[in-house]
Amino acid sequence: MAEELELKAVIADPASLRQRLLAAGAVAGFQGRMSDRRFDRGGELAARDEVLRVRNYHLPGGRLQSVLGWKGPARRSAGGYKQREEIELAAAAGSSSPEELLAALGYRVVHAIDRDVEVYQLDGATVRVEQYPRMDPLLEIEGEPEAIERAILISAIPRSSFSADSLTDFVRRFEARSGRTAVLALEAG
């Protein structure tokens, strides 16, 4: 089972960040809409701080690339990173959707997140710029600690701005600061 380490920060200027990443040799990957649907059955996963989700990458021509994922309880690593076990399975093109499988097992969508993302590979780190319908843009960096720290330096975002906080924490801070309700999904479900 894979262990995921990550940190997130609010991005003040996504265009400048993009320029810094590319100038440092980051390799651009997927760019476009990424939709997550989190599933649960009677709150059993939430009670254990687990996540069961289907992530859809919206590809050109209306195609989807779907990934079924499970994440274990979140904790902080010794270095202060968000850490959790993770299992992901890519759905084969032309197969039944992961959503159909989960519905057949009694799971229902409990949370929806849609954002436009830019994914980069940079010196062993996965760097993702996330822009939501109405919320601060975020930078998420995943990888081993050394790779995360190198990517933070290249981002030019102060290290103290990065945290292992959940998306819910970033939403609360946005709403408290702006007085506006965050919007994370384009549609219900």
Mean of pLDDT values over 127-151: 98
| Cβ-proximal residues to 6 (8 Å cutoff; 6+ apart), any chain | 81, 82, 140, 141, 142, 148, 164
Which tokens hold the place of 21? 């990443």
Q: Domain 2-178 is classified in which CATH homologous superfamily?
A: Hypothetical Protein Pfu-838710-001 (2.40.320.10)
What is the percent of the chain where pLDDT is above 70?
99
Chain-wide mean pLDDT for the chain?
A: 96
Burial of 54 (0-12, 13-18, 19+ CB in 10 A): buried
- pLDDT (tens digit per residue) in 23-46: 999 999 999 999 999 999 999 999
Predicted confidence at residue 188, as pLDDT, reads 52
- pLDDT (tens digit per residue) in 96-121: 889 999 999 999 999 999 999 999 99
Q: Rounded to two decimals, what is the model's pTM?
A: 0.93
- pLDDT (tens digit per residue) in 3-26: 999 999 999 999 999 999 999 999
